[in-house]
Amino acid sequence: MTNTANEALEITRRFLKAMEPLDYDTALALVSPTCVYINPPPIGEVIGPQGIRAVLEPFFSPTVENEFKILRESGSGEIVFLERLDRHRLKDKWVELPVTGVFEVKDGLITYWRDYFDAATILAQWPTG
């Protein structure tokens, strides 16, 4: 089964919506076991739901609330591009990060996810301890 652009967009939207309250089980059920997830350095590349969780769970640990605002979206077949504003509420402030994500969805699962952002922007605002 292949996905239409609308199906691929819907799956990526559901994934991000589940990640707002950090519902890893629901979100990662939409991810292929062989999904490649890539972030700018120093984070790098991981594989599959367990690799994604290993990156995101500690990163999001200081957040009280998350919001992934989709500003623009485009899809062609299995490929989805999302321009987002990722907002993270920490105990004392909101942190915002402009992000562009590229997703590939096959057979109803995300098989590729790459986020483009300026790592220095988020690291300068994020707690270090």
**Which residues are designated catalytic?**
86, 115
Distance CA 78, CA 109 (A): 10
State the burial class of residue 87 (Cβ atoms within 10 Å of its Cβ: 0-12, 13-18, 19+): middle
Handedness of CA 89, 93, 94, 95 (dihedral sign): negative
